[in-house]
Amino acid sequence: MNTRCDSVAEKGRRWPAFEQNAVMSLAGRKRVWVQLFHAPLKVRYLEVVEMKKADLKMIENLEQMGFQNFATVYRNLPIPALYEEAVRRREGSISHRGPFVVRTGQYTGRSPNDKFIVREESSEKDIWWGDINRPIDEAKFDVLLLRLQAYLQGKDLFIQDCYAGADKKYQIALRVITEDAWHSMFARNMFIRIIDQETLKNHVQDFTVINAPRFSADPNVDGTRSEAFVIVHFKRRMIIIGGTSYAGEIKKSIFSCLNYLLPKQSVMSMHCSANIGSSDDVAIFFGLSGTGKTTLSADPSRRLIGDDEHGWSDTGVFNFEGGCYAKVIKLSREAEPEIYANTERFGTVLENVAMDYEGQRRVDLNDGTLTENTRAAYPITDVHVPNAELSGRGGHPKNIFMLTADAFGVLPPISRLTPAQAMYHFISGYTAKVAGTERGVTEPSATFSTCFGAPFMALHPSVYADLLGKKIAEHNVNTWLVNTGWTGGPYGVGSRMKIDYTRAMLSAALEGKLDNVETVIDPVFKVQVPKSVPGAPAKILIPKNTWADKAAYDAKAAELAKRFVDNFKEYESSVSDEIKSSAPSV
């Protein structure tokens, strides 16, 4: 018997063949309309029954948060059922071989200028206020939330109950509420799914995310910058998102929360990917979007822990998520086979990927017409990621790689860092913003994003830097700076570093083949550059050797060095002299 609970007004509609896990409160009473199927007569009919305890608890939770008078609530639908709902509501299209293709409208990337944190007494003293963490008054939040509650009245809601954090000691329980089925599909793919039904029935969330993309803020009334908003209220443990359909805002808002909560428990929260070798050696890869975090951690010879967000506790590394959110523009089947395979798999959500809607519904990963920030969201399972570490956990790292997509083309493709240099480059967080990841970015531009994730860091960078420094020293971790950006010249002149060369350099470092090779000190950036690496041409190891115009290289290197020094002035007062002395020569 399949059940579906619905409003009386829908009593006469034609029912789909399969719907489940939907409930509705009838004017606050503990009863629901349930669709029943009478097998002998092959007819469906509605009957009023007592609401299940778990469903009643969920309805009461929604009403306690001020959400009431909704139409149908779909709770924890599996992916196939979400497909059916999303197609019925015309939210997207099913492509050849099964992925669900959606378009997110004008917002095809994160909108960091539209992110706010409510200024309230429980967190006010801890937040790193400024351009990254913009404050909004609690009174403004209350008015906006009230209008959001009114907007959702009479609408269907989709709920996913899930977790963030593979280490149960630090795990937080989530309830993600969306007005679109495909956003619920995204949440189910990206967070840690609850398989045990008894656990699911008794789920009590630590944080609630409400995502309503068609509800817009009024900047004149709400104190926002535009119609879009992502607002975190730490005291109420609530996140509200509106005015944007870009699904990445859901996962990154939870990441921001973990970056606030976990360091208070001496857990280092990191914007990084992580994997494990055959000898259980863990490697982590710091980097912003477009630097290769996801691609380089998807190594067939190593088990993937996760591709984007992790914690480092006193027992080791653990993934925050249960899925991957990979950039797929110009993705190569040969160079990135594991990620590519998921662009052809049922259950994957493809964001803003071009598709032949009138023909065979085949996607074109090379088409950046809508955005360069095309994405694939898929779960980490033994099917989607055959070499996954399904526990989502590993030991303490043996190697740390700090990835940068250097648009100047002057940093070495790989270099070893001293502990002080590691702290300097971690705090600096130099890279190039890659087209599409944020609104308004159309081509790579040099930027500094402290901790390789400034948009998501709720606390002062020194908090994360101190934690990382202690862990590197305690566990004697090798640290490397890896340039996945340009070689032979800056962006527009040189070319992007070949991924095969980068993989060869990473493999050499992971296998200990660079431990005793001869190195040379870069005269500007002071890092130790190996003179030879198995599988990589010697010429590319020294950036100046790849430039036709040596004087132009010197000028660009000096320009980038000055940018490093100018950027770091903000942090000089909170670091040691040893770290400050790791700055490039100017």
User: Which of these is catalytic: 188, 252, 425, 433?
Assistant: 252
Three-state DSSP class for 17? coil
The backbone torsions φ and ψ at residue 342, rounded to the nearest 5 degrees and listed phi first, read -80, -10
Answer yes or no: 375 catalytic: yes
- The C-alpha atoms of residue 237 and residue 477 are separated, in whole angstroms, by 35
Instruction: Report the alpha-carbon distance of residue 438 to residue 36 in Å, rounded.
Output: 47
Give the H/E segment covering residue 422.
helix 419-428
Nearest to 471 by CA among 174, 336, 272, 234: 272
Q: How distant is the alpha carbon of residue 236 from its chain centre? A: 23
Residue with tokens 């679109």: 180
Helix axes 248-261, 181-190, angle to 10 degrees: 40
Active site residue 203: no
Is 264 a known active-site residue? no
Amino acid at 533: V
Catalytic hit among 140, 175, 203, 293: 293
Annotation says 544 is catalytic: no
Residue of 119, 140, 271, 303 with catalytic role? 271
Q: Which of 75, 375, 384, 460 is catalytic?
A: 375
Instruction: Exactly one of 178, 294, 449, 487 is catalytic; name it.
Output: 294
Catalytic, 315? Answer no
Contacts for 220 with CB less than 8 Å, ≥ 6 apart: none
The three state secondary structure string of 287-327 is: CCCCCCHHHHHCCCCCEEEECCEEEEECCEEEECCCEEEEE
125 carries an active-site annotation: no
Alpha-carbon distance of 414 to 403, in angstroms, equals 9
Q: Catalytic annotation on 271?
A: yes
In angstroms, rounded to a whole number, what is the distance separating the alpha carbons of residues 14 and 237? 39
| Residue 52: how many other CB atoms lie within 10 Å | 16
Examine the residue annotation and report whether 314 is marked as an active-site residue of this protein. Answer: no
| Among 110, 251, 384, 416, the one annotated catalytic | 110
d(CA 252, CA 392): 18
Phi, psi angles (nearest 5°) of residue 486: -105, 150
* From 55, 308, 406, 522, the catalytic residue: 308
Structure-block tokens of residue 24: 């509705």
Out of 72, 269, 289, 313, pick the active-site residue. 289
Which residues belong to the active site?
110, 252, 271, 289, 293-294, 308, 375
